[in-house]
Chains A and B, each alone.
Chain A
Amino acid sequence: MANDPSEKTPAPKPPADPSKPAAEGAAPTPPTSATPPKPAAPAKPAVPGAPAAAAPPKPPAAPPPPKEGPTPLDNELVRRLKARFGDAIKEATQDRKQAIVLVDADKLREISRYCRDEEKFDMLDDLTAVDWPKREKRFDVVLILYSFPKNERLRLKAHLGESEPVPSVCEIWPVANWLERECYDMFGIVFEGHPDLKRILLPDEWQGYPLRKDYDILKQDTDWVRENLGIESGQ
Chain B
Amino acid sequence: MTNGQTTEITTTVLGADEIILNMGPQHPSTHGVLRVKLKLDGERVVDSECIIGYLHRGVEKIAEHRSYQQFAPYVDRMDYVAAVSNGLGYCEAVEKLLGTEAPPRAKVVRTILTELQRIASHLLWLGTHALDIGALTPVFYCFREREEILKIFEKYCGARLTTHAFRIGGLQYETYDGFEEDVKRFCNDFEHRVDEYETLLTENRIWVGRTKGVGIITAADAIALGVTGPVLRGSGVKWDLRKAMPYAAYDQYEFDIPTRPTGDTYDRYIVRMEEMRQSRRICLQAIENIPSGPILGKVGKVLKPPPGEVYHSIEAPKGELGYYIVSDGTTQPYRLRVRPPSFINLQAFRKMAQGALVADVVAIIGTIDIVLGEVDR
Contact = CB atoms under 8 A, between A and B. Distances in A.
A and B touch in the complex (CB under 8 A): yes
Contacts of B107: 46
Q: For the side of the interface on A, what is the size category?
A: 35 or more
Interface string A29-50: 1110000000001110111110
Contact of A142 (B99, B292, B324): B324
A12 B172 CA distance: 11
Given A46-B247, A69-B308, A25 B224 contact: no
Contacts of B237: 148
B99 A31 contact: yes
Interface string A188-213: 00000000000111110000001100
A151 B244 CA distance: 7
Interface in B287-304: 292-300, 303-304
Contacts of A126: 311, 322, 324, 337, 339
A174 B347 CA distance: 9
B195 interface: no
A127 to B, nearest CB: 9
A122 to B, nearest CB: 5
B176 A96 contact: no
Contacts of A144: 311, 322, 324, 339
A150 B104 CA distance: 29
B101 A25 contact: yes
A125 to B, nearest CB: 6
A85 interface: no
Given A3-B157, A17-B294, A130-B335, A173 B224 contact: yes
B239 interface: yes
B155 interface: yes
Interface stretch (B52-60, B123-131, B275-283): B52-60
A24 to B, nearest CB: 5
Given A12-B174, A27-B298, A125-B226, A148 B311 contact: no
A230 interface: no
A219 B174 CA distance: 43
Nearest to B170: A24
Contacts of B98: 25, 28-30
B173 A10 contact: yes
Contact of A29 (B294, B295, B306): B306
Contact of B101 (A2, A43, A122): A43
A215 B305 CA distance: 25
A83 interface: no
Interface in B40-90: 52-53, 56, 58, 60-62, 65
Given A13-B174, A177-B347, A217 B61 contact: yes
A98 interface: yes
B350 to A, nearest CB: 9
Interface residues of B, number: 81
Given A17-B293, A21-B294, A178-B343, A10 B172 contact: yes
B38 to A, nearest CB: 17
A88 interface: no
Contacts of B347: 174-175, 177-178
Contacts of B245: 48-49, 151
A178 B105 CA distance: 40
B97 interface: yes
Contacts of B52: 200-201
Given A29-B99, A96-B97, A211-B60, A201 B53 contact: yes
B308 A96 contact: yes
B147 interface: no
Nearest to A45: B251
Contact of B292 (A13, A69, A200): A13
A20 interface: yes
Interface of A: 1-3, 10-17, 20-21, 24-31, 41-43, 45-49, 66, 68-70, 95-96, 98, 100, 122-126, 128, 130-131, 142, 144, 148, 151, 153, 155, 173-175, 177-179, 186, 199-203, 210-211, 215, 217
Given A47-B96, A66-B99, 16 more contacts: A10-B295, A12-B295, A13-B292, A14-B292, A20-B103, A25-B99, A26-B298, A45-B251, A48-B246, A68-B308, A96-B308, A96-B310, A151-B244, A211-B335, A217-B61, A217-B65
Interface of B: 52-53, 56, 58, 60-62, 65, 92, 95-105, 107, 155-158, 169, 171-177, 223-227, 237, 239, 241, 244-248, 250-251, 292-300, 303-313, 320, 322, 324, 326, 334-335, 337, 339, 343-344, 347, 376-377
10 contacts: A1-B155, A3-B157, A28-B299, A29-B98, A30-B98, A69-B308, A96-B309, A98-B310, A130-B326, A177-B347
